[in-house]
């Protein structure tokens, strides 16, 4: 029995509100003795941690480094191993593209390549406006490859999505193609190799797409190549409302995270702007929903760039906004991350993720700050991320007793 099957018959309605704030990549490792959370000046988070239930969640399993998709699915209450979803689908949905059963979606990065070697996997995080120009050029010049229609959509900075639309429905394993992004600079791009017989046709289209894109972009100083990640087709997954009885709003400026929310049928309006803008939107919509997912991206971005001070500064910026959020008085407030992104590693990692849960029904008083080392002292201990949503429902009085 999975989490949705266990929870669904226990769900009951009431007027409580649950707010889940995801500080993307919040967990870290010590540099000069302190993690980013420990080095940051976060008096509001620290005060909140003292009166909250704290702990650390494991996104997938011990020792497993999660992508953003599995990381979010776990804290949304879905088993990320059972519900494996490709990044391409999430990016395409988040950008507002229609995804059909005939489609394979892939998330792409503009990148810099010199003499066959990748020198920058993100093309210097080119401006979004430049991305729009380049993606428009690709769409104009690559409309079809073999029998597949190509649909391009720009994302933010260096990211964009491509849908390969075939004339008939595809087999479930047709999107089983490895990423061409080697995940490190100083290496050559990987070939788009099929991992199943049914994927051979799609991989051929992918290889031709990459080569044609390079021909079109080769005159660019930075964005002269594309790397592909997360080839995927549309999965079947229970909706958030059906599984947990919650009318949910996703507040996220980056398309992929809107895609994750849209996949489980949260309301996902397209938003732009800063975290301040996200909080303003939360306040505007607070009376219309009973569950809110608010995503803060830049904590992760600075971690991936290896910028310890920048990541700590983003945490401090969020901390200053926390009193405004607390003024809404949610019945249950959760602050956590989808995974850890230590600036020491410049990447996602397998380390458990700090989490606090504030409600009237917690012990509290066990932690003196919101950090990795303090949260391990909390009443939640170290637990699977998939258990976080049931804890939120229970603290909101939204779960009936199980059994006689």
Q: What is the pLDDT along the chain (404 residues), one digit of tens a residue?
A: 677 788 889 999 999 999 999 999 999 999 999 999 999 999 999 999 999 999 999 999 999 999 888 999 999 999 988 887 778 888 888 888 888 889 999 999 999 999 999 999 999 999 999 999 999 999 999 999 999 999 999 998 999 999 999 998 888 788 899 999 998 999 999 999 999 998 999 999 999 999 999 999 999 999 999 999 999 888 778 899 999 999 999 999 988 898 889 888 899 998 989 999 999 999 999 999 999 999 999 999 999 999 999 999 999 999 999 999 999 999 999 999 999 999 999 999 999 999 999 999 999 999 999 999 999 999 999 999 999 999 999 999 999 999 87
Q: Which of 245, 244, 317, 332 has the alpha carbon at shortest distance from 278?
A: 317
Identify the pLDDT of residue 270. Answer: 87
Q: What pLDDT score does 171 carry?
A: 80
- pLDDT confidence of residue 35: 98
Q: In 3D, which of 80, 58, 79 has the Cα closest to residue 69? A: 80
| Alpha-carbon gap, residue 401 to 362, rounded angstroms | 18
With beta carbons less than 8 A apart as the criterion, state whether 403 and 10 touch.
no
Q: Do residues 397 and 16 make contact, with C-beta atoms less than 8 angstroms apart? A: yes
Contact in structure between 399 and 12 (CB atoms under 8 Å): yes
pLDDT value at residue 370: 98
The model's pTM is 0.78
Q: Which residues contact 301 (CB under 8 A, 6 or more apart)?
A: none
Where are the strands (E) in 130-289, listed by range?
A: 144-145, 148-154, 159-165, 225-232, 248-251
Q: Domain 3-83+238-395 belongs to what topology?
A: Alkaline Phosphatase, subunit A (3.40.720)
Residue 110, token pair as written in the block: 């503009």
Which CATH class name applies to 90-232?
A: alpha beta
Helix/strand/coil for 277: helix
For residue 14, give Cα distances in angstroms to 47, 85, 249, 373. 29, 32, 17, 36
Which residues lie across from 118 on neighbouring strands? 113
Contact indicator for 318, 296 with CB cutoff of 8 Å: yes
Neighbouring-strand partners of residue 55:
355, 381
CA neighbours closer than 13 Å in the CB half-sphere of residue 165: 14
Cα–Cα–Cα angle for 19, 338, 236, rounded to 5 degrees: 90
Start-end of CATH 3.30.70 domains in the chain? 90-232
Spatial separation of the C-alpha atoms in residues 67 and 368, rounded to whole Å:
30
Phi, psi of 196 (to 5 degrees): -150, 165
- φ, ψ for residue 31 (rounded to 5)? -125, 120
Return the half-sphere exposure (C-beta side, CA atoms, 13 A cut-off) of residue 392: 29
The whole-number pLDDT of residue 100 equals: 86
Nearest C-alpha neighbor of 11 from the set 404, 354, 401: 401
How much is the pLDDT for 65? Answer: 96
Q: Where in the chain is the domain with CATH 3.40.720.10?
A: 3-83+238-395
């Amino acid at each position: 029995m999975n989490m949705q099957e266990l929870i669904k018959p226990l769900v009951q309605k009431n007027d409580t509100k649950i707010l889940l704030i995801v500080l993307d990549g919040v967990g870290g490792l010590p540099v000069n003795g302190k993690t980013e959370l420990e080095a940051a000046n976060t008096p509001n988070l620290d005060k909140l941690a003292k009166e909250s239930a704290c702990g650390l969640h494991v996104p997938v399993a011990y020792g497993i480094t999660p992508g953003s998709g599995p990381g979010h699915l776990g804290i949304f209450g879905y088993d990320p191993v059972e519900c494996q979803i490709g990044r391409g689908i999430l990016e395409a949905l988040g950008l507002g593209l229609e995804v059909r059963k005939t489609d394979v979606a892939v998330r792409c990065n503009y990148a810099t390549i010199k003499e066959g070697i990748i020198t920058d996997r993100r093309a210097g995080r080119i401006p979004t406006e430049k991305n729009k120009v380049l993606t428009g050029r690709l769409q104009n010049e690559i409309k079809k490859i073999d029998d597949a229609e190509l649909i391009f959509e720009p994302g933010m900075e260096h990211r964009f999505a491509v849908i390969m639309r075939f004339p008939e429905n595809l087999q479930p394993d047709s999107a089983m193609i490895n990423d061409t992004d080697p995940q490190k600079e100083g290496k050559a791009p990987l070939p788009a190799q099929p991992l199943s017989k049914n994927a051979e046709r799609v991989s051929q289209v992918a290889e031709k797409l990459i080569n044609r894109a390079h021909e079109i972009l080769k005159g660019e100083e930075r964005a002269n190549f594309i790397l592909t990640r997360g080839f995927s087709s549309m999965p079947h997954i229970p909706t958030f409302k059906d599984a947990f009885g919650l009318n949910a709003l996703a507040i996220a400026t980056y398309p992929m995270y809107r895609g994750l929310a849209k996949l489980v049928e949260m309301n996902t309006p397209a938003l732009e702007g800063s975290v301040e803008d996200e909080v303003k939107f939360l306040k505007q919509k607070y009376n219309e929903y009973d569950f809110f997912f608010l995503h803060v991206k830049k904590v992760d971005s600075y971690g991936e760039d290896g910028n310890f001070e920048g990541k700590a500064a983003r945490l401090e910026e969020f901390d200053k906004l926390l009193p405004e959020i607390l003024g809404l008085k949610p019945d249950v407030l959760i602050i956590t991350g989808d995974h850890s992104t230590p600036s020491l590693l410049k990447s996602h990692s397998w380390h458990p993720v700090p989490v606090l849960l504030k409600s009237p029904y917690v012990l509290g008083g066990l932690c003196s700050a919101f950090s990795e080392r303090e949260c391990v002292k909390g009443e939640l201990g170290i637990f699977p991320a998939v258990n976080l949503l049931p804890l939120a429902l229970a603290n909101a009085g939204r779960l009936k007793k199980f059994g006689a």
